[in-house]
Structure 1
């Protein structure tokens, strides 16, 4: 247990340092999407602190579909360390507006050009989605979204919300699903080697010619695709042990 909590403490310190340095860079280059890429190299150290091995597959396709929309399943706060392994240049995420007020990290997150959304204000949220479409089409920026809208904490891949898919259709860009194997049950932070995580990129899903009437089906198709792939990754990890 000592090793586990020491790791969490060190990860917290790492994010604080990233927040300080990232905020300084953000003040020099405010809202530049390239800031995220720079700091991802530091955030990546978190996976080594936590002691797990990361296997990535087909993630080069993310660069082929830049700028575009990436979606992934969302499990824990440590997802940020996993994303840093595969983050393409000029890629930002969509996060809750309240993140801006987290000391150090929140200011870095905001100044790095990540898109903040007020989920309690539907009118504001729809306006933000329009801004996301503009960022993809006109500012050479990819957007990473987690359409579950909340951390699953071992409950499997939760149902997807429709916002990401409205955005993709509005911008007429491909959607690239990113599947991350389950963390709960597969990682043990009390051990020196805590386990293995597999990140698998799936072939892009085209939105060409789709309209708002297709959102529900597109959402369901992408959810099924990610859920089934995560199950396969979990089975593979189980066979390793």
Structure 2
């Protein structure tokens, strides 16, 4: 148990240091679509080393040279940033809750890096933000990473998906790239020196062409089923 708290303390300290330094750098190139890739990789590799995580990735080649895509993945805990950071493609920004802005050190860095904040408590503003997301992808030919559950599942399986990611894909005619992550709570124990393995699977892209807002739920349910099934498969492969 002591090892776990030591790890968390070191990780929090490094996040504060790197987030502050990167926020200063981002002041000179705010909202640049390349910002997130750099800090994601820093957090990813340093975080997984300190936490004793091993990360295995299937289908990584599908992320190579991907541009103009809506990337979606299941959202389990605050640890997501460490294994997601390892595979974050270049020119990728994410959509996160507005409340992230108020996290000391991290929040300012997250915003200055060009990630998009959404106020889920205000439905009208949230939908307007999704229009901004479409514009951002087209303007910079970048990817948007969204965790469509909208909240951490904390071991409850893959929660129902919200609509935002799929509205974005349909409006912009972007492909959806699903990524499944094995159940963190089942296979990782931070009290051990080698805490465990997180398995990620990058699935075949889903084409949004032919879908309209009227068929949004069909697209959303298809993506949810694909990720849910793949999480189950990954869990059974241990």
Quick check: TM above 0.5?
Answer: yes
Specify the alignment match of 1:7 in structure 2: 7
Contact 1:73/1:226 (CA < 8 Å) preserved in 2? yes
Aligned residues: 237
Report the aligned-residue RMSD.
1.0
Q: CA deviation at 1:36?
A: 1.1
Q: CA deviation at 1:64?
A: 4.2
Q: CA deviation at 1:107?
A: 0.5
Specify the alignment match of 2:26 in structure 1: 26
Q: CA deviation at 1:133?
A: 0.7
| Partner Cα distance (1:100, 1:231) in 2 | 33
1:49-128 to 2 correspondences below 5 Å: 49-128=50-129
Q: CA deviation at 1:60?
A: 2.1
Contact 1:25/1:35 (CA < 8 Å) preserved in 2? no
Specify the alignment match of 1:200 in structure 2: 201
Contact 2:33/2:140 (CA < 8 Å) preserved in 1? no
| Partner Cα distance (2:211, 2:148) in 1 | 19
Could you list the runs of 5+ residues in structure 2 that have no partner in the other structure? Answer: none
Secondary structure, counterpart of 1:65 in structure 2: coil
Q: Which moved more, 1:130-139 or 1:142-151?
A: 130-139
Contact 2:72/2:145 (CA < 8 Å) preserved in 1? yes
- Cα offsets for 1:170-214 (capped at 9, x unmatched): 010100000000001211111111111111000000011211111
Specify the alignment match of 1:43 in structure 2: 43
Specify the alignment match of 1:182 in structure 2: 183
